[in-house]
Amino acid sequence: MADWDDLLSFVRVRYEITRQRDGELLFRLPTTGDRTQTVAVRRVTGEDGHPWAQITSAVGRVERLDLTRTLELAATSVTGGVVVSDGLVLFRHAVPLLDTALDGFDRSFRLVVDVADRLEHELTGADEH
């Protein structure tokens, strides 16, 4: 079981942090070929009142994407979903803190990054995020 501080330490040891704010970390993960994907992890409180780690990765600017196609492609993922925030389409997933072992976070990071990168590649052909 891990709390937010445990997760911060876990991420710092494994990844190069590009930005850190209170309750948020940004870092890049390699995907396929020369592609990389930025991932953000935020400490959030769920509707259940418990702490969660929310993992997001950008797909592209909302005005540049076919949203119907984006949703269709995202539907193939086993978990997570597509949201829009500040003009960006994001692939997002959340993991409960305190109920998840540290090694379980790595799988969630990879899932979010791989799906977001696949969507970005299929929808835009670019590697901006």
Pairwise CA distance, residues 57 & 59, whole Å: 7
DSSP state of 49: S
pLDDT tens-place string over residues 96-124 = 998 888 878 888 888 999 999 999 999 99
Confidence of residue 2 (pLDDT cuts 50, 70, 90): confident
Domains of the chain: 4-114 (3.30.1460.10)
- Checking if the pLDDT of 26 tops 80, the result is yes
The average pLDDT across 31-49 equals: 91
The average pLDDT across 64-79 equals: 94
Tokens 């592609």 sit at which residue? 35
What pLDDT is recorded for position 109?
Answer: 86
Pairwise CA distance, residues 34 & 52, whole Å: 31
pTM for the model stands at: 0.90
